[in-house]
């Protein structure tokens, strides 16, 4: 992190982090965005793309499904070749990116990446956006056919090519279909989509640094995008990440931390639950107690958060603060169990804010607690050595405003600012 006002960020790493988070929704298949990016790049090269456009379609492939948060939506996109409600995640992705300048160039192609070619070429959008949107549509459907095939891809490829070819001129631009047919002729095209090879491909592309100076406001906006992806997963946790971030910032300010530290705490609060995207929807929405196996799955999410964030240069400390939100001073939390010295005050603040916001928010198994009940819960956790008693004193001293903030009173929610477009 470079100074108090700006950060020199590898934007490519941030794009990969967004894809990594969004792809967790696939549960057992978390490489979809990376494979779509690979397929798009290979087709783009067949089309004679410039280096700039190759890089563009790679990032677009990574970002195209940023509007998918739920397991149900992911399943429908995979099992149905042309799903009528596919436009929903396209509009969500468009709204997430359209106002964030560093990534806004991908918003229009994402909006139309499930629009058939016969409709797309009639729209009032640039030829470049139309081309990129349709390229990603084709690459996405190729990957769906490949991922659901029961055969070795080298054996299944002729069926995939035939399936795509049937829609040339209707759903897919004929020249893009032809470029795909040329690209796939080599066995290497299909072998490279295997997990270990696709990871190597993405690592190679990551080395092409797209460095950009981001202000604190920019980084917050990017974190809001990622928080929105997470909080859309369940209506029971709507705006949880946003409200944790606001509450954590307030506690940090009252504790006496400087503005930069509070900014970073707010960003870590927005990002703390990224790993929950890999938790099955039915577990998050379960109306009763969790079974042992379900608890074990839940306990993975903090580690997943760390794995996503620590790969972005400059976010190493934020990665720890975010990922330690279920740790305890007494060492009884999960999943890292840091010692008391490793458990920084910033991480402790987020841990307190996370618990307090969760208990006042409605959940599938209970109604949100009143102010007195919520304080009773966190006071008991402090007595047991899990939460920091000094930080709890700050919360207690500002109990009314903390309660209102945790409940979202006076806070503009993420979804109200990002209402899906009707375009």
Please name the CATH architecture into which domain 9-206 falls.
Orthogonal Bundle (1.10)
* Residue 233: predicted pLDDT: 82
* Residue 149: predicted pLDDT: 78
Q: Is residue 323 within 8 Å of 302, Cβ to Cβ?
A: yes
Token pair 């492939």 in the structure block, residue: 61
Q: What is the pTM of this model?
A: 0.89
Which superfamily is assigned to 216-417 in CATH? Hypothetical protein af1432 (1.10.3210.10)
pLDDT digits 0-9 by tens, 63-97:
999 999 888 898 899 888 899 999 999 999 999 99
Pairwise CA distance, residues 213 & 11, whole Å = 9
pLDDT digits 0-9 by tens, 176-188:
999 999 999 999 9
- Catalytically annotated residue among 34, 276, 320, 386: 276
Q: Where are the domains of the chain?
A: 9-206, 216-417
* Residue 418: predicted pLDDT: 45
Q: Which backbone phi and psi does 369 adopt, to 5 degrees?
A: -80, 155
pLDDT digits 0-9 by tens, 194-249:
989 999 999 999 887 666 778 888 899 999 999 988 888 876 667 899 999 999 99
Residue 423 pLDDT exceeds 50: no
pLDDT digits 0-9 by tens, 9-21:
778 888 999 999 8
Q: Which backbone phi and psi does 290 adopt, to 5 degrees?
A: -85, 145
Q: Is residue 23 within 8 Å of 35, Cβ to Cβ?
A: no
Q: Residue 214's beta-bridge partner residues?
A: 7
Among the ranges given (36-40, 189-193, 359-363), the one the predictor scored with the smallest mean pLDDT? 359-363
User: Which residues, including other chains, have CB under 8 Å from residue 41's CB and lie 6 or more apart?
Assistant: 54, 57, 58, 61, 205
CA dihedral (274, 277, 281, 283) positive or negative: negative
Q: Is residue 360 within 8 Å of 372, Cβ to Cβ?
A: no
Instruction: Name the band, by pLDDT with cuts 50, 70 and 90, for residue 419.
Output: very low
Q: Do domains 9-206 and 216-417 have the same CATH topology?
A: yes
The H-or-E segment that residue 293 falls in is: helix 292-298
Residue 334 pLDDT exceeds 70: yes
Instruction: Name the band, by pLDDT with cuts 50, 70 and 90, for residue 113.
Output: very high
pLDDT digits 0-9 by tens, 25-64:
876 778 899 999 999 999 999 999 999 999 999 999 999 9
Pairwise CA distance, residues 320 & 327, whole Å = 11
Pairwise CA distance, residues 401 & 403, whole Å = 5
Burial class (CB within 10 angstroms; exposed 0-12, middle 13-18, buried 19+) of 383: exposed
Strand, helix or coil at 7? strand
Q: Residue 103's beta-bridge partner residues?
A: none
Q: Is residue 135 within 8 Å of 176, Cβ to Cβ?
A: yes
Residue 72 annotated in active site: no
Backbone angle region of 3, left / alpha / beta, with phi > 0 → left and psi within -120 to 50 → alpha = left
* Residue 110: predicted pLDDT: 98
Residue 285 pLDDT exceeds 90: no
């Amino acid at each position: 992190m470079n100074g108090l006002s700006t950060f020199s960020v590898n934007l490519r790493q941030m794009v990969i982090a967004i894809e990594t988070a969004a792809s967790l929704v696939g549960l057992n298949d978390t490489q979809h965005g990376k494979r779509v990016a690979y397929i798009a790049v290979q087709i783009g090269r067949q089309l004679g793309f410039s280096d700039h456009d190759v890089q563009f379609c790679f990032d677009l492939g990574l970002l195209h499904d940023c509007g998918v948060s739920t397991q149900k939506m992911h399943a429908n996109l995979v099992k149905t070749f042309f799903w009528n409600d596919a436009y929903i995640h396209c509009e969500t992705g468009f709204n997430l990116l359209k106002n964030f300048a560093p990534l806004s160039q991908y918003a229009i192609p994402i909006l139309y990446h499930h629009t058939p070619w016969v409709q797309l070429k009639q729209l009032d959008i640039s030829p470049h956006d139309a081309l990129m949107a349709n390229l990603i549509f084709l690459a996405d459907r190729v990957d769906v056919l490949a991922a659901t095939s029961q055969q070795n891809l080298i054996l299944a490829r002729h069926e995939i090519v035939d399936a795509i070819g049937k829609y040339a001129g209707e759903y897919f631009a004929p020249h893009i279909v032809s470029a795909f047919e040329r690209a796939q002729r080599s066995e290497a095209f299909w072998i490279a989509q295997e997990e270990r090879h696709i990871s190597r491909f993405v690592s190679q592309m990551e080395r092409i640094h797209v460095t950009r100076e981001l202000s604190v406001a920019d980084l917050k906006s990017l974190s809001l995008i990622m928080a929105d992806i997470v909080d859309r997963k369940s209506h029971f946790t709507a705006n949880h990440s946003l409200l944790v971030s606001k509450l954590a910032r307030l506690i940090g300010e009252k504790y006496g931390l400087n503005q930069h530290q509070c900014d970073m705490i707010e960003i870590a609060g927005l990002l703390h639950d990224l790993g929950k995207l890999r938790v099955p929807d039915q577990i998050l929405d379960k109306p009763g107690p969790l079974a042992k196996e379900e608890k074990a799955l839940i306990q993975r999410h903090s580690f997943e958060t760390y794995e996503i964030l620590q790969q972005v240069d400059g976010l190493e400390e934020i990665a720890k603060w975010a990922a330690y939100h279920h740790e305890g001073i007494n060492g009884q939390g999960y999943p890292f169990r840091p010692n008391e010295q490793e458990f920084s005050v910033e991480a402790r603040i987020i841990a307190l804010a996370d618990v307090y916001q969760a208990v006042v928010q409605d959940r599938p198994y209970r109604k949100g607690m009143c102010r007195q009940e919520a304080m009773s819960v966190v006071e008991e956790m402090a007595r047991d050595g899990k939460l920091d008693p000094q930080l709890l004193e700050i919360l207690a001293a500002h109990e009314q405003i903390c309660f209102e903030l945790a409940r979202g009173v006076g806070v503009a929610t993420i979804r109200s600012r990002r209402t899906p477009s009707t375009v």
